[in-house]
Structure 1
């Protein structure tokens, strides 16, 4: 695409560098064409990045600052992203596939993380503990040191911002491994760090394959904390490697999230939740509304309505979709599209009814029709495995207990939702749903301020909100025996 540089380098210790593993080709999923090449890091590159971050940590270049000064640098990174949104968004769309307006929202969301956590820098405070006469006891929160952050391909700018902002705010030096499918747009995070005045080595951003650079980062003996968002198998592998060095992790591993729609729900309003819940970013969202569990009295009406939503979506190259609306871009790759299509076909083979969609589109690029499956039962694979695509599975229930049991019937527990006019019923559901976040009458309610993380195989630890900060610090207690 015109205007996109043909070759992009890694950013290590304040310098733009080539990769020891050569280069990889980044593909535009909206057309299938090669977009650019990116430097590919090997284990030696990872080691250099970790050592640079370790040097910064040990020097006190971040920790010796007053928190307000560190916070101002973090906020400045967000302002830099907003100032360059017109450059970042087209690159993000071209490498990831989402509509251009969605890419702009992602950059704005990334900037919001830097704004929010920059403002939190002065609030990470210890406490005084009374021990009686002759003693003074207090706690302090110290950064872990080197924070390794392994980023997913679905929101490469925003997910980097989510962990980088919290890590820097608390005084950690960071090494970011970008996703090999969508590494280009992260270059602006490195530029933002430079523009904000962060010392060289405080932020290192490199692209590498998971089995080489990712594995080297997770197992590195000088890494002190790991943040990972991605698949369950990879998360388990990272946690296993981290355990060898007794390194704590924050793992966000996806989900199979369900919206329970009761017989008194506002179906007109719920159609807007369906549009955003499963077709935003072509369904490639960890907290997507991938299941709808609807009361049997509304089932047929709801299926007809959600099929109408799916059929109304305009699907095509994201770079052509500049305005927000009923439109959807490509999936991130042919491989991801093929996997989703295969899972739909398997569901149909198990007895699910394909109401609409379910097939690749006859245009260049990684496009899948917005899909609705009905007559899905809890034992079907489609009801238990994450598709990570624009595929909605509709299930039915008779009683409240049955709805909760179906919603909780997967190994995941990232988010859940309940749609009802009965506040008592909504509160009961919120307490009983096995999920880290519960939406009532609006999917994706909340924001940067609200903690986010999973139960079960959706992972552990929390991102977003003040709760995230405690994953980036360790508590030290100081007990002093006074004389006299």
Structure 2
């Protein structure tokens, strides 16, 4: 079926044909050991469209046992063969992109265009790490004596991947692709509101030639499935993306086993606009930095830190653009789709209401919505909070929604103080025509990645991750392989 046919079928029936609803363990669909299921909702309509297995510790034990067996096979697979499997998986993902994007849009609430971009980027991730599979070499070391010494890079073993709901496909692939390139196996626990693309991709990988035990997916809740996964001593590395509070909990859970850990947590990232910046670029950059995916992006430019000289003009143009946005069900490809869940919608609204009660100037939005065409769904209006004090919770707390907070500065030192003024340090954007100013600020701002004059510049070839309470470790880029490899030194007396 074409994508238009798939969309029409879903809109008419409220169902998706052939959607996987069981765990994927050992290359097969496996129902929950306890027989329980959960409902999955379409955020664009706030109605359930399918159900899926509600896993527990028994299912996790089954999946880890499978992954242990898969690791022994996959670690011995020649690197060139790993490369071929990942490249074939990328090809299959592109051939199945219409269905994957449809499911991603319905399951998460994002627009079909955004979901399609996620699928295309994930296929590219598979290709990128396919190219690394046969290049993970060690080095020869000159000890200055008669001994011969060298290093080898070995896969760490079974890896666990806890996937968030805002980017269920791309976050999955950016973790398992380097793990597979390194020779590791994986057990995946997708978010309980977005389980389906992980199941579909696991099956796709087996069709691409991956041995059936290497990637396993268990669906369910964090306490029932995620916790036993990260606590299992057979797991050698955990990659987690989510909230700070849950990330701290994961750290505590893996500590007794001294398990490796990558944490990608929250953000409150600044987009810093100097007086000499290109106004058009600032408006466009700030707009999509916060309103892409309804602001549900850990690296969203949720704070516009702007020079007083251009503050009013940029603010007014952002208000006009925000008020002109189309909002609705993701399959109709509006400018902005739904918020992922009713619970999260309530959290966003709570943040804005607390700002309102503190006297913050809400110059745009500030309320929840429904789809104007159907009157259904979980939506929040594009919202702008103007000239907010540095100690206000709207500045300090991650809202994780379409809410832009504006802070005004008068000089470079004040801009830096404001930019570094939260507990997060994930991303930052700098807008200035003066390259010296931009590079000086790029060195001084605390962030894992900095872009200049284009907030979403960069790509999968660059490392991604944060400092301070934004987490530690890096994903994407060559650095993304480091978590899944360990070096062994070998010395031979000759």
Bin for the TM-score computed over the shorter chain: over 0.9
Are residues 1:152 and 2:164 paired?
yes
Contact 1:374 1:393 in 2 (8 A): yes
1:428 corresponds, among 431, 440, 448, to 440
CA distance in 2: counterparts of 1:259 and 1:333, whole angstroms: 27
CA distance in 2: counterparts of 1:241 and 1:309, whole angstroms: 45
Are residues 1:193 and 2:205 paired?
yes
1:472 corresponds, among 469, 472, 484, to 484
1:348 corresponds, among 340, 356, 360, to 356
1:17 corresponds, among 30, 54, 75, to 30
Contact 2:267 2:427 in 1 (8 A): yes
1:332 corresponds, among 340, 364, 382, to 340
Shift of residue 29, structure 1, vs aligned partner: 0.5
Shift of residue 223, structure 1, vs aligned partner: 0.4
Contact 1:5 1:36 in 2 (8 A): no
Are residues 1:107 and 2:119 paired?
yes
CA gap 1:441/1:6 in 2 versus in 1, 3 angstroms: closer
1:48 corresponds, among 57, 62, 68, to 62
SS of 2:160's equivalent in the other structure is strand
Structure 1 partner of 2:383? 371
Contact 2:271 2:286 in 1 (8 A): no
Normalised by the size of structure 2, how large is the TM-score? 0.95
Normalised by the size of structure 1, how large is the TM-score? 0.97
Contact 2:70 2:211 in 1 (8 A): yes
Contact 2:15 2:50 in 1 (8 A): no
SS of 1:445's equivalent in the other structure is coil
CA distance in 2: counterparts of 1:201 and 1:238, whole angstroms: 25
Structure 2 counterparts to residues 10-159 of structure 1, below 5 A: 10-21=23-34, 22-57=36-71, 59=72, 61-159=73-171
Q: 1:260-303, CA deviations, whole angstroms, 9 ceiling, x for partnerless residues?
A: 10000111122221232111110100100000010011111111
SS of 2:394's equivalent in the other structure is helix
CA distance in 2: counterparts of 1:358 and 1:166, whole angstroms: 41
2:397 corresponds, among 364, 371, 385, to 385
Structure 1 partner of 2:469? 457
Contact 1:351 1:375 in 2 (8 A): no
CA RMSD of aligned residues (A): 1.1
Shift of residue 3, structure 1, vs aligned partner: 3.1
Structure 2 partner of 1:418? 430
CA distance in 2: counterparts of 1:403 and 1:269, whole angstroms: 19
Contact 2:21 2:51 in 1 (8 A): yes
CA distance in 2: counterparts of 1:124 and 1:95, whole angstroms: 36
SS of 1:273's equivalent in the other structure is helix
Contact 1:7 1:37 in 2 (8 A): no
Contact 1:351 1:376 in 2 (8 A): no
Structure 1 partner of 2:242? 230
SS of 1:418's equivalent in the other structure is strand
